């Protein structure tokens, strides 16, 4: 049972004076956020595909949205979120196998996720 006579909170989500943000916790939180964001991007792509199958008039309206600046921004961020989430998942698989659990290596993996997701996003946008 938790010690209730402590001066600090039990939850690590009290970021600020009670909890120092760590690379592993911040990247894990962002991994969860990107997973939710991917659902939004996927719904937009599905909406676009359904519109394409429904007819040219309906497709024109959603195609305008997805090819606008806002649509381009959502798709760009979706590509970044996909790479971030993929690399975060690989990191968790490594941890689940019992490797790289020490603090120094875990922080290096966090930096690899940050840099790798940015690099892979730029490569994907340039190539595609």
Mean pLDDT, all residues of the chain: 88
pTM: 0.80
Q: What pLDDT is attached to residue 26?
A: 87
CATH architecture of the domain formed by 28-127: Up-down Bundle (1.20)
Cα distance between residue 89 and residue 96, in whole Å: 10
Cα distance between residue 12 and residue 21, in whole Å: 9
Q: For residue 119, which of 89, 69, 79 has the smallest C-alpha distance?
A: 79
- Enumerate helices (H) and strands (E) in the chain, giving the number of each: 4, 0
Tokens coding 14: 């009290």
Count of other CB atoms within 10 angstroms of residue 80: 19
Cα distance between residue 15 and residue 110, in whole Å: 18
User: pLDDT of 21-68, one tens digit each?
Assistant: 788 888 988 988 998 989 989 999 999 999 999 999 889 989 999 999
User: pLDDT of 67-120, one tens digit each?
Assistant: 999 999 999 999 999 999 999 999 999 999 999 999 999 999 999 999 999 999
CA dihedral for 108, 114, 117, 123, sign (positive or negative): negative
Cα distance between residue 19 and residue 93, in whole Å: 26
pLDDT of 8 above 90: no
């Amino acid at each position: 049972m938790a010690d209730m006579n402590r001066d600090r909170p039990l939850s690590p989500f009290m970021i600020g004076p009670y909890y120092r943000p760590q690379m592993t916790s911040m990247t894990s939180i962002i991994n969860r956020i990107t997973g939710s964001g991917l659902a939004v991007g996927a719904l937009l792509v599905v909406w676009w595909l359904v519109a394409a199958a429904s007819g040219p008039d309906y497709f024109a309206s959603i195609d305008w949205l997805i090819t606008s600046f806002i649509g381009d921004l959502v798709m760009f961020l979706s590509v970044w979120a996909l790479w971030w989430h993929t690399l975060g998942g690989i990191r968790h698989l490594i941890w689940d196998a019992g490797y790289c659990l020490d603090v120094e290596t875990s922080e290096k993996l966090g930096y690899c996720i940050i840099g790798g997701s940015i690099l892979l996003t730029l490569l994907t946008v340039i190539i595609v």
